[in-house]
Every structure is written in structure tokens, then in C-alpha cells.
Structure 1
Amino acid sequence: MLEALVFLPLLGFLAAGIGNRAIGDFAAKLVTTGFLFVSALLAWVIFFRQWGGEGAYTVTLAEWFTSGTLSVSWALHVDMLVAVMLVVITTVSALVHLYSWAYMADDPSQPRFFAYLSLFTFAMLMLVTADSIVQMFFGWEGVGLASYLLIGFWYRKPSAWNAAIKAFVVNRVGDFGFSLGIFGLFLVFGTLDIGAILAAVPAHKGTTFDFLGSEVDALTTIAILLFIGAMGKSAQLGLHTWLPDAMEGPTPVSALIHAATMVTAGVFLVCRMSPLFEAAPAALALVTFVGAATALFAATVATTQHDIKRVIAYSTCSQLGYMFFAAGVGAYGAAMFHLFTHAFFKALLFLGAGSVIHAMHHEQDMRFYGGLRRHIPLTFAAMTIGTLAITGVFYTAGYYSKDGVLFAAYARSTEPALVAFSVGLFAAFLTSFYSWRLVFLTFFGEPRWAGSPHIAHAHAHDAHAEAGHGAHGHGADPTAGYHPHESPPSMLVPLVLLSAGALFAGLLFHQAFIGAGEAFWAGSLVHDPAFYAKLHEVPALVHWAPAIAMGLGLLLALRQYVLKPGAAEDFVRTLPTLHRFLYRKWYFDELYDWLFVRPAKRIGRLLWTGGDQGLIDRLGPDGLAGLVGAGAAVARRFQSGYLYFYAMMMLVGLAAAMTWLALKG
């Protein structure tokens, strides 16, 4: 069963990728989507079996390699932690495959797209089921490759392939830290088997080694290096810059990679290695601070963005910060619970945004939306449910998981934990504000479609569009004669199913994930039932604080974008510097461009013109070629074709030979 679950997406990738146009669009979509739904069904079976007490097990597939004392096998490991990830990955991927049937219907390269989706899913499954850290790294790099292909799927767009390259390069920075962590694990533990490493952690507490010329605590250093890898994949502050640009890929890619799967790989890594992190308090404090800083940073930036997908992308970045600071305070179950529920409502929001973009002729700027709830009511309902869940409205999925994260930070009561609680509470207020801002700008108010370049171009023949373009508010038709349409069933069915998850996943699973019982997470991550019991004993003010923050954010968004239209523009005019700072994403891109990109280009240009062309080519291939050419030019002078010239040369040669013999004698 487990082997089929993992390798069916690989078979789908091979069928669609190799078959491509030979099997046609329909067959490629049918095979890949069918295999993913089978994998999703098997994942739910494994999940409920683990919940029922089946226990962890490992399936060895083959020996991979042996080098000295290092021996690595291909093996698939399953416990409760892995089972949760299997459900998240395969369920979201199957629904994304189904959604893409209609969303990508007009694309000429559908088999390639569905092949890439299945390849990504296979790599992610290899990552989470890995029994050794080397096999996990294989899946880790496979996910990076597949994400590069998916982000740059529309490779003829410069913005798409630039975003793909940026994602690939930034992730390599984190992956370098991860690889150093792998070397450190083998140096200290003598094995790369995850189970053996975690079992040996207590015996290696206090171990030191030389790192960069200093004697450092081994477990702390290794944990920090692994976390650097997690920062890259999960877009934490400092290595986050690739995530918003990755929105250049098709919207189903955003839902798959940046909502539920790839970006959660870092959270999974920290939770999988939780015994190691528990033995490294300094590393846990770093995880807490970075997670809290990311939650705050991304939430502030999301309040100013106009692109609907970028708002949701920064929301993802912020929610990942919640997951990390939950892990940082030792609430690994709460981190995984928020990962689980977040997969439903964030995939719902991304796919809902795709439905809006589909209805609005590929327009993504919310300033050109408005009044859409009457035209696409099912999409409006789905997006509203996703917003209710992410903002933590009572009894939705986000209410249980995000509040659980905040309560865990408060209950831990250490200085880093209390900082994370305070920052997380403010981020919850901002989350509510920017999420409802998205809903109000998109679905409420008067239509602002006439200002959209996409719609105006599509309806340039319409006289209303000609008059309305750029003339909104002066008697022109604000709709530009355009009539948005609801999405087809293959796009709406995933929205309905994800809406059910966004509403009920928290209610159904919160006792298992963050309850005081020991059975659910037994043996798969560090779980302290006594600590989780404290989550239900927080003071009343702390208990109600997330709801108050959510309500304040809703009221502010309602005032700014519904009750007093234009108030947001007044705020921008009042505090232009602050708005510019947030809109430009705290100037991280500009800073990195100045620190790294421009110097790298200058060095590359110097090595190219001075080193490669000026030195290597000049003295190497070009120089040798020039020398041969010069010699040939001299030789040509002796090939005149005149008999007397050849006779003279013979006499000169004979004289030279006689002279040499005479001198030698």
C-alpha cells in the first residue's frame, strides 16, 4: 500500500512526461489525476490506521550505496507524523490536479504541466517518508527542481523564468546549510539513519567539535544548520524573497507548492528532528525568534499589496512563522496541527483566487475588482469561508490551530515564547485586516473593471470600454461591458471539498493533535501531555485575545474599504514613507541586490572579460588558433607556384645543409 502511494505519482509523471503529445491532453490529465486520487485514498487509510494504533513501520526497498562505514538504503518510514503529511500532500495535490483540468484547459502544454505536478508530489512524498537524512535530502532537492520547473512553466515570460531562477538560487543557500548539517550528523553520530540519530541524541549531549575555528556545542550547531535549510524551503525571514515572486507560476502551482506542501517541508524537518532540537535550547530560541519575526514581517507587507496572489503568498509566509515559533516553544503538535489546517484553508484561498482571476480575464490587481459577489457567488462563498478560517473565527479550522499556537507560546512562559505570543497576537490582528481587505476589495463595492488593462484590451471593440478606460467616475460604464462568469465544475468541486476542511478540520482533529493524550503523537515527535494540558488553563484575557485581535482587524478593514471608501488612500497620503517601506517589502530585494546580486554580476563580468576572454582564451584556444593561422600565413608564402622560386629554395636548402655538415665536421 505504502509503495503504491509513493510511486503512483512517479508513474503518472513518466506517463505524461514521456507520452506527452503522443497520448494527448486528456489521457495525460486522466492518468496523473487518477493516480493522485488513488494515492490520496491510500494516505487517508494509512492515517486512520496510525490513529487506530497500528504503530510505526519501515518498508526497505533496496540498498542504495555503501561507502566506508556509511551505508544508506532506500526505505519508506511511516509513523503518525508522516501519516499527517501524506494526507496533506496527496489530498491537496489530487484536488489541484482536478482543478487544473479547467484552469489550464487553453494551455498548449498540458501534459508537461500535469507531469511536473506529479513529479513534485512524488519528490515531496519521498521527502516525508525518508528513513535516512540522505534520502530526505534527495526528496528535498527533487522538490526544489520540480518547483523550479513549475514556477517557470510559462518560460517565455521573462518574469516567470526570473522567478524560477530566484527560487532555485535562494533555496540553494538554505540547502547548503542543510548539507553541512548532514555532514555534522554523520561526524557526531556515525550514521544518517534518522531513527538511530534521534535515539542516540541523549548520549551525545554536551559533545563539542571544531567549527569555523571554534569549539562549539555539536547538537546546537547541527540543529541551527538544519534550521537554515528549513528557512530556505519554508521562506523564513532572510530567505523569504523567492516566495512572492513564485506567484508568476500558474495559480494551481501556487496552491500546491506555496500553500500546503513545499513550504511546509521546513516545519516537517524541525518536527521530525524534534528530539535533536530539544537537546539544543539555543537553536530552539533562534527558531522562535525567526518564526515570530517572519509572522510580523509578512503580515505587515500583506496589508499593502494589490496583487491578489501576492497577498495570499505573504499570508502563507506569515502563517509559516506561526508554525515555526510553535515548534520553537516545544509545541510540535501545535505546529503540525496548524500545518494540517492551514493546508485546507490556504489551498482554498489560492484556488479561490484562481477562480477570481479566471472570471476576471487574468486580471490579478484587486484595484480593478469590486462587486464580484453577485457574479461569482460560489467563489465568493468559498473565499469567505477561507477568510473565516485563516482569521480564526469561532469553530473554524484556524480558530483551533492558530489559537492553539498562541496559547502554547503563552503557556511556555519563557522570554522568547512571550515575545512570540505578543508578536503573534499583533500578526493575528494584521491577518484579519489584510484578509478582509482582500474580500472587501474583490467582492464588495462598485465594479472597477473599466480600469483593467486586461479587460479593456479584451473588449477594445466595445465603445463602453473605449470610453471607460481610465475614465472611471465620469459617467463611463465601470464594468467596461465585461460580465464575469463563474468557474466550471472541475474548479468548483475542489473549492467545496476544501471549504469543508477549512470549516471542520479543527473541530474534528484538535483533541487528537493538541489534546492532553499521549497516544496520537507517540514515538513520532516530542510530545508533553502535561504541557498541552496548560493550553486549556490560560487566563480568560489570553483566551479571548486572539478573537479580540481578529475582531479589531475586521472592523478596521470594514471601515477603510466599505464604510469609508477612500480612507485607505488618506492613510497612504498621511504616512507615505511607512506605506512605501511596507509596499517595497522592507527593501529586502533592494538590499540583496546591492549586497549580493550587483557584486556577483561585477565579479562575473570581470572574470568573463578579463579572465576568460582576456587571459584564458587569449593564451589558450584563441592564442593557439592565432599561432596556427600565423604559421599558415608564413607557409603560404613558400607556395608561390613558380619553378624558379622552388629551384632557388632547393639551392638555399642545399647550401644550408652543406654549411651545417661543414660546421659539424
Structure 2
Amino acid sequence: MNILPLIVLFPLLGALILAFNPRLPNRLAALVGVGSIGLSALVMVWLNWLFYLGDGGGFTQTLWQWVTVGDFRMGFTLYLDGLSLTMISVITGVGFLIHLFASWYMEKDLEGAPGYARFFAYMNLFVFSMLLLVLGDNLLLLYLGWEGVGLCSYLLIGYYYQSEYNAWCAFKAFIVTRIGDVFLAIGLFLLFTRFGTLDIQQLLQQAPQVWQEGDLMAEVAALMLLGGALGKSAQLPLHTWLADAMAGPTPVSALIHAATMVTAGVYLIARTHTIFELAPFTLSLVALIGLLTLLVAGFTALAQTDIKRVLAYSTMSQIGYMFLALGVQAWDVAIFHLMIHAFFKALLFLTSGSVIIACHHEQNIFKMGGLWRSLKLPYACFLIGGAALSALPLVTAGFYSKDEILWLTFDHGYSLLWLGALLGALLTSIYTFRMIFIVFHGREQIHPHAGRGIAHHLPLLALALLSTFVGGMIHPPLANVLPAGPEGQYGHLIRVLTEVLAAVVALVGVGIAAALFLGRRRLIGNLMEAKEGDRLRRFFYSGFAFDWLYERITVRPFLFIARLHRRDWVNSLVNMWPALALGLNDLLLGTQNGRLRWYAAVMTGGAVSMLFLLLLF
């Protein structure tokens, strides 16, 4: 286990090499960027082997003493158990495949423009920060990684910073997620003042001894942690940034905004599960927010026209399922779905990138059509990934994780939440196959050029395999980390019936999508032409008008107050001194006009003035 620091070190070294050598040739930059994550992935495989050979317990390794203030000491310590092992496996394994695909995608996307090394420097720095987040044995180290992934998200969303829209999307993501980060920081302060430590394992041991279930301070601390999780994981009401984050390159969307960073909130709640178990109100709120998010995102995805925004809202919806699982105390199933979601959503995003490049950077699904004839591999990958997202029965990985969430929600006594989750499953099938039918079927409107090369094919094929039942057979080693949850209420027969019902719902969704979006699409066309149908479409397209609402209740009042106090006397008094300095500076600059006679006159005048003063005094 002494090799554990290497998994963090390799991405950091890659980021530093690329940052200090921005003019590296593209091939060499790709070798460093992809190779560093590949080495980290190899270390991950070795760690898995050693972990399964061992007793499955936690392993701690202190690299150095980080903070020493009085009696408070905190080491730069890494902690490996079944939960963090699952997370680093996703981050480095899926991350390597995405980096490999990015070496192909960015070469096509940049077309000789500078910035190739800069892109991989940001990507490597992100992987380093994410690994630090999940391996930190204390909340301060976790928070360092938490802020690191936020910074890298900002840099990568605004990677094409020449576009004002992209820069604004990056700024929006940074600001909205900072709101959640403030809540998380407050939560850390509360925990430290109460327990005198930020060591996660000590907190989990001491919390039940100090707080009773339902204790007010336990609820407040859990609420603050939940606030941080909502921002990073794009859950209501801090969800508005994720769709706009699609302004970044598609591999960024696959790595950060589908497979890793947006699942940080799920990891945080699972890691601090003991605190949430002591806060039943907050735990119920986690489940409710998850359900509302998955429904809002599902309806919104139905009206999107941008292929990446459809996938963005589906990501939001699937993380809603993870929050639902956490809220009903199906802890291990939430992490299981996190892993499975990383497989099929990375596949869908990378395949969408392949389609976008093939269609000459077109992202509007209604300007595509009939692509299955020319893009056979992307079509097959979209079918596999879409089937996994829709949780089609038996053959897809998504079936094994999502159905487990639905079953445990019902079995733990949350019948209304279960009904809402079933509706979300129906919506998922409809919007997923709506996208597939519109993009790959119907009349061809654009002539695509299929991607080629191992960097293009290998990641898609590997992720496609993991998105089938093969991925569903991989179970994270969480038995010694997360509790089993409450006892169920129903037997095996009821479980089989609920699973059959969930499978039928998913298949019905595919049938509805086929009826509406295959062929001439007359029915859906007539519905959209109706006044009420058009209004509903525009409402869904706007994401339930959350951006409109936030602009009116936060942005506009803030700008009004700023304009109101623009000329207040305190501000004027403070600004007077720099204005005076600037005025004197302008006056002196005026004397430097480059005219020889002026300089001679000034020198003579100065000398006469000095003589006059000497005579007077």
C-alpha cells in the first residue's frame, strides 16, 4: 500500500510539466497528459489487487505534518478503504479512457491552434484534485481537493475563452458552485468547534457519542454539508450551472460534468453518512431534493435541441437518483449507481463528441438525422449507452443499479418517492431514445465523416462493454465502509414484481419515443403547433425558468443596490485620493512633451527659482 501516493503524484507531475512547457508539440503533450493518467490507472489496478488480497480494512498513510497550530495537528494523510478505492478506480480508469479519446478529439477540434498542452495541463490538474478529494483522511484535505476541482472546472468550461459566451458560462459555474462551497466551509467550522478535529474517521466515531438522533446541531451540520453537495452535484436549487457548462470541450463534459466532479457531493454525503443518520430531517431532504431534481431535469431534457445539453440534464437526473438512494439510506447502492453511471455517461458524452466532430461541429440534433448509415460505431455506442441510461432490463448495467435504487426506495417504505422515481424512469427512456431516433434515424441532413484511430475506437469500445451487464457484475467493496440501511418490509415476490414493473416502464418509454419521433413525427408536430403545447415546450426548454427567476430575485436587486450606492459619500471620499494622485500624475506627464526648448525653459525657470529662494532665506 506504500504505492498509494503515486496515484496522486503522477497527475500532478503531468500537470506541472505541461504548465511549464506550454509550447510542447501536440504529440508530446498528449503523451505526457494521457501517459500520466495511464500510470495512475496502473497504480489503481495494483492497489485493487493488494486490497482484495488484504482484509478489506482501511489503510492510512501520512506523507508529512501539514498543519500545526497549538495543540491542533493535522497531517497530509491519505486514507484508502472500499469507498475511496471505488472512487479512484472510476477517476483513473474512466479518466484514462477519456484522456485517450481527448487526444483524438482536441486534435480535430483545435485544428492546429495553440492550447493543446494547456488543455491537458488543466485535465491532469483536475484528476489530481479529484484524487485528493476522495483520498483525504480529513475534511480540510477534502476541501482542498474540493476547491481544486472547482477551479479546474472553471478553467475547462472557459477553455475557449475567446468566446464571451464561454467565459460567462465558466463564470456562472464558478459563482453558483461557490455558494455551495461556502455552506460546506461553514459545516467544517461547526464540526471543528464541536469536536476539535476534522479527521473523518474520528468524527464518525465521536458524533454518535455527542449527538442524539435529531439533535439540532447535528441537523445544522448535516444541512451545511448538504449545501456543499448540492452545488458540486448540480442538484436543486444550485443546479443551473451544469447545462451551461457544456460550453467546454466534450471530453471535459465527459470527465468533469458526468463521471467525476458532479459525483463529489454524493461521495461527501456517503463518506459522512453517520452525521446524516443523526439528522433524519436532513436525510429526508436529501431524498426529496433528489426526486425533485430527477423529475425537473427529466422534463427539461425532453425539450432540448443541443445533444450535449440533453446529456447534461440526464446527468443531473441520474445524480438525483443517487441522492434519492442516499436519502432512503441505500448507501452502497448510491455508490454502485455512481460507478455504473460513470461508465455509460462517459460513453454517451464521448460518442456525442465523435458525432459533433463528424458533423462539422454541429450540435443541434434537428440538423442531423440518418447518421446510423455513416457512423455505425457511434450509433452502436449510443444504443448501448442509451439503453443503460434507460435501464433496459437484463442486458444493461444501468438496470442493475437503478432498479436496486427503485426497489430499496419502495422496500424502505417511501412509496410516494418510489412512484416519482418510476415517473423519472419513464421520462429517461423517452428523452434518451428521442435523441437517438432524431440523430440517427430519419432523413440525412448532413454528410458526416466517421472518426478513425485507436484513440477514438478503444475508449468507446471499452466503455460500451462496461455499460452492458458486464459492468453490472462489478460490485464496489463497501461492506466494511457503509451501513446496510434499515430492514426491508417486503419479500422476494414483491421485489420481483417491482423489478418487472420498472422494466416495463423503461420499455414503454422507448415505445412512446418511437411513436413520437420515428417516421414523419406528425403527432408531436401537431402538439407543438398548439398554443398550450408550445408554451409547455418553452417552459421545459428554459429549465422550469430557474435562470429567469434567479435573475429577478438575486441579480437585478444586487445591481440596483450597487447603482444606488455608486455615489455614496464614503465611496467618494475613498476615491478622492486616487483621483488626486491621477490628476497630479497627468500634470507631471504634461511636462514631458519631447520639446527641447520647453525642457530648457523649465530648467532655467527651476534654477532661477532656487536662486530666488536662497536669496530670501
Q: What TM-score does the superposition give when structure 2 sets the normalisation length?
A: 0.91
> CA distance change for structure 1 residues 16 and 540 in 2, over 3 Å: closer, same or farther?
same
Q: How does 1:132-211 map to 2 (within 5 A)?
A: 132-206=138-212
Question: What CA distance in whole angstroms lies between the structure 2 residues aligned with 1:111 and 1:173?
Answer: 31
> CA distance change for structure 1 residues 382 and 611 in 2, over 3 Å: closer, same or farther?
farther
Question: What CA distance in whole angstroms lies between the structure 2 residues aligned with 1:483 and 1:140?
Answer: 40
Aligned equivalent of 2:468, options 503, 522, 539: 503
1:600 Cα shift? 2.5
Partner of 2:262: 263
Q: Which runs of 5+ in 2 are unaligned?
A: 591-601
Aligned equivalent of 1:576, options 522, 530, 534: 534
Q: Letter of the aligned partner of 1:376 in structure 2?
A: L
Name whichever of 234-243 and 100-109 sits farther off.
100-109
1:540 Cα shift? 4.4
1:525 Cα shift? 1.9
Q: Letter of the aligned partner of 2:59 in structure 1?
A: Y
Question: What CA distance in whole angstroms lies between the structure 1 residues aligned with 2:589 and 2:79?
Answer: 68
User: Does structure 1 conserve the Cα–Cα contact (< 8 Å) formed by 2:398 and 2:472?
Assistant: no
1:606 Cα shift? 4.6
1:483 Cα shift? 4.3
Q: Letter of the aligned partner of 1:556 in structure 2?
A: I
> CA distance change for structure 1 residues 311 and 278 in 2, over 3 Å: closer, same or farther?
same
Q: Which runs of 5+ in 1 are unaligned?
A: 209-215, 450-481, 514-519, 634-638, 658-665
**How large is the Cα RMSD of the aligned pairs?**
2.9
Q: Letter of the aligned partner of 2:159 in structure 1?
A: F
Question: What CA distance in whole angstroms lies between the structure 2 residues aligned with 1:631 and 1:128?
Answer: 58
> CA distance change for structure 1 residues 187 and 641 in 2, over 3 Å: closer, same or farther?
closer
Partner of 2:343: 344
Partner of 1:402: 402
CA offsets 1:256-275 (integer angstroms, 9 cap, x no match): 00111000000000000111
Q: Letter of the aligned partner of 1:602 in structure 2?
A: F
> CA distance change for structure 1 residues 606 and 28 in 2, over 3 Å: closer, same or farther?
farther
Q: Letter of the aligned partner of 1:306 in structure 2?
A: T
User: Does structure 2 conserve the Cα–Cα contact (< 8 Å) formed by 1:294 and 1:318?
Assistant: yes
1:155 Cα shift? 0.6
User: Does structure 1 conserve the Cα–Cα contact (< 8 Å) formed by 2:176 and 2:231?
Assistant: yes
Partner of 1:429: 426
Question: What CA distance in whole angstroms lies between the structure 1 residues aligned with 2:222 and 2:202?
Answer: 16
User: Does structure 2 conserve the Cα–Cα contact (< 8 Å) formed by 1:342 and 1:398?
Assistant: yes
Q: How does 1:212-291 map to 2 (within 5 A)?
A: 217-291=216-290
Name whichever of 90-99 and 595-604 sits farther off.
595-604
Q: How does 1:393-472 map to 2 (within 5 A)?
A: 393-395=392-394, 396-413=396-413, 417-449=414-446
User: Does structure 1 conserve the Cα–Cα contact (< 8 Å) formed by 2:183 and 2:228?
Assistant: yes
Partner of 1:298: 297
Question: What CA distance in whole angstroms lies between the structure 2 residues aligned with 1:383 and 1:296?
Answer: 23
Question: What CA distance in whole angstroms lies between the structure 1 residues aligned with 2:458 and 2:213?
Answer: 54
Q: How does 1:251-650 map to 2 (within 5 A)?
A: 251-395=250-394, 396-413=396-413, 417-449=414-446, 482-509=447-474, 512-513=475-476, 520-528=477-485, 531=487, 536=492, 538-574=494-530, 575-608=533-566, 610=568, 614-617=572-575, 619-623=576-580
CA offsets 1:467-514 (integer angstroms, 9 cap, x no match): xxxxxxxxxxxxxxx3433443311210000001101344312xx45x
1:604 Cα shift? 3.6
Question: What CA distance in whole angstroms lies between the structure 1 residues aligned with 2:97 and 2:487?
Answer: 36
1:568 Cα shift? 1.9
Q: Letter of the aligned partner of 1:147 in structure 2?
A: S
Question: What CA distance in whole angstroms lies between the structure 1 residues aligned with 2:30 and 2:603?
Answer: 72
> CA distance change for structure 1 residues 84 and 623 in 2, over 3 Å: closer, same or farther?
same
1:81 correspondence with 2:87: no
1:48 Cα shift? 4.3
> CA distance change for structure 1 residues 66 and 403 in 2, over 3 Å: closer, same or farther?
same
1:187 Cα shift? 1.4
Q: Letter of the aligned partner of 2:402 in structure 1?
A: K
Corresponding residue SS for 1:105 = helix
Question: What CA distance in whole angstroms lies between the structure 2 residues aligned with 1:101 and 1:628?
Answer: 52
1:625 Cα shift? 5.7
> CA distance change for structure 1 residues 493 and 626 in 2, over 3 Å: closer, same or farther?
closer
Q: Letter of the aligned partner of 1:299 in structure 2?
A: G
Q: Letter of the aligned partner of 1:567 in structure 2?
A: L
User: Does structure 1 conserve the Cα–Cα contact (< 8 Å) formed by 2:345 and 2:385?
Assistant: yes
Name whichever of 576-585 and 49-58 sits farther off.
49-58
Name whichever of 276-285 and 430-439 sits farther off.
276-285
Question: What CA distance in whole angstroms lies between the structure 2 residues aligned with 1:159 and 1:88?
Answer: 31
1:61 Cα shift? 0.4
1:535 Cα shift? 8.0
1:58 Cα shift? 0.5
Name whichever of 373-382 and 97-106 sits farther off.
97-106
> CA distance change for structure 1 residues 626 and 28 in 2, over 3 Å: closer, same or farther?
closer
Corresponding residue SS for 1:64 = strand
Question: What CA distance in whole angstroms lies between the structure 1 residues aligned with 2:308 and 2:261?
Answer: 17
Question: What CA distance in whole angstroms lies between the structure 2 residues aligned with 1:341 and 1:49?
Answer: 23
1:532 Cα shift? 7.1
> CA distance change for structure 1 residues 485 and 626 in 2, over 3 Å: closer, same or farther?
closer
User: Does structure 2 conserve the Cα–Cα contact (< 8 Å) formed by 1:82 and 1:128?
Assistant: yes
Corresponding residue SS for 1:236 = coil
Question: What CA distance in whole angstroms lies between the structure 2 residues aligned with 1:640 and 1:40?
Answer: 73
1:126 correspondence with 2:91: no
CA offsets 1:239-291 (integer angstroms, 9 cap, x no match): 00110000000000000001110000000000001111111111101101101
> CA distance change for structure 1 residues 110 and 200 in 2, over 3 Å: closer, same or farther?
same
Question: What CA distance in whole angstroms lies between the structure 2 residues aligned with 1:82 and 1:629?
Answer: 61
Q: Letter of the aligned partner of 2:310 in structure 1?
A: V
1:545 Cα shift? 2.0
1:34 correspondence with 2:31: no
Question: What CA distance in whole angstroms lies between the structure 2 residues aligned with 1:350 and 1:631?
Answer: 60
1:45 Cα shift? 3.0
Corresponding residue SS for 2:22 = helix
Structure showing greater radius of gyration is 1
User: Does structure 2 conserve the Cα–Cα contact (< 8 Å) formed by 1:12 and 1:118?
Assistant: yes
Q: Letter of the aligned partner of 1:589 in structure 2?
A: D
Corresponding residue SS for 2:107 = coil
> CA distance change for structure 1 residues 640 and 390 in 2, over 3 Å: closer, same or farther?
closer
Question: What CA distance in whole angstroms lies between the structure 2 residues aligned with 1:611 and 1:24?
Answer: 56
1:160 Cα shift? 1.0
CA offsets 1:126-183 (integer angstroms, 9 cap, x no match): 0000000000000000000011111111110111111111110001000000000000
Question: What CA distance in whole angstroms lies between the structure 2 residues aligned with 1:632 and 1:104?
Answer: 49
Corresponding residue SS for 1:20 = coil
Question: What CA distance in whole angstroms lies between the structure 1 residues aligned with 2:15 and 2:61?
Answer: 23
Corresponding residue SS for 1:139 = helix
> CA distance change for structure 1 residues 483 and 579 in 2, over 3 Å: closer, same or farther?
closer
Question: What CA distance in whole angstroms lies between the structure 2 residues aligned with 1:174 and 1:105?
Answer: 35
Question: What CA distance in whole angstroms lies between the structure 2 residues aligned with 1:336 and 1:151?
Answer: 26
Count residues with an aligned counterpart.
Answer: 597
1:612 Cα shift? 8.3
CA offsets 1:11-30 (integer angstroms, 9 cap, x no match): 11111111221x32211211
CA offsets 1:310-369 (integer angstroms, 9 cap, x no match): 000000000000000100000010100100100000000000100100110000000001
Percent of aligned positions with the same letter in both sequences? Answer: 40
Corresponding residue SS for 2:212 = coil
Q: Letter of the aligned partner of 2:177 in structure 1?
A: N
